[in-house]
Amino acid sequence: MIKLSHIHKIFTQGNTEVVALSDISLHVKDGEFTVLKGASGSGKSTVLSLIAGLSRPSSGEVLVEGKAISKLPDNFSALFRRENIGFIFQKYNLIPTLSVRDNIILPLIPQNPSEEVLTHSVNHVMEKFSIAHKADMLVKNLSGGEQQRVAIARALINKPKIILADEPTANLDAKLSNELIAILKQLKEENTTIIVATHDPLFFDLDFVDAQVEMKNGKIV
């Protein structure tokens, strides 16, 4: 369960205050697929950042899986995020000089898993997203669609309960966008909670989306 209650977020730029979010309240139940839609600058990415505990609200409360993530100390917030949340970034955020396998296992390293567990986990997600044959390739040599699959595999390596995706189709063509949507549908069927921030109309008529939340100028319309 994800619940944002009367969230305000203000950034300071020099002597100027910029209101990113104004009195946002949002409730997403376990296993739901929610689309945050709106133009760039509407506040969608800021909402995802707050849910992930990557930033804190200026006021209001963010509850994720029953925990007030907005009030956790940074080290506990990072631990909670690693155990519960997978983040799919618009620009993938992969390390180009590392292999596919090495990029995917990065989130597991702090847990110091055994070699057996590590191998099983990474092989499982690579097979799931059809990139096992690329395991030893440097990600900089992959296509955009392949890099997106690596990013998704990395987001899922810890088997998170929640997937947050920020403009996941922004760098994909129509074919690859539809492939990504098929992957998200599969995750939805596995009872993963999914929140996608996007202005891509491909997401607006999907029959497996539970809720669409339109944002404009930092507010829910």
Hey, which of 63-77, 169-183, 191-205 has the most confident mean pLDDT? 191-205
Q: How many C-beta neighbours within 10 Å does residue 33 have?
A: 22
Cα 125 to Cα 131: distance, rounded to the nearest angstrom: 9
pLDDT score recorded for residue 175: 83
Q: Tell me: pLDDT of 94 over 80.
A: yes
pLDDT score recorded for residue 112: 83
**Residue type for 8, please?**
H
pLDDT score recorded for residue 29: 96
Q: Which helix (H) or strand (E) is 77 found in, with range?
A: helix 74-84
Q: Among residues 175, 146, 164, 212, which one has the least CA distance to residue 46?
A: 164
3-state per-residue secondary structure call for 102-129: HHHHHHHHHHCCCHHHHHHHHHHHHHHC
- The token pair that represents 151 in the structure block: 């990013």
Cα 154 to Cα 35: distance, rounded to the nearest angstrom: 22
What confidence tens digit (pLDDT) does each residue in 101-150 have?
A: 999 999 888 888 888 888 999 999 999 888 999 999 999 999 888 898 89
Q: Among residues 125, 110, 117, which one has the least CA distance to residue 79?
A: 110
Q: Please give the mean pLDDT across all residues of the chain.
A: 91
Entry pTM: 0.88
pLDDT score recorded for residue 43: 95
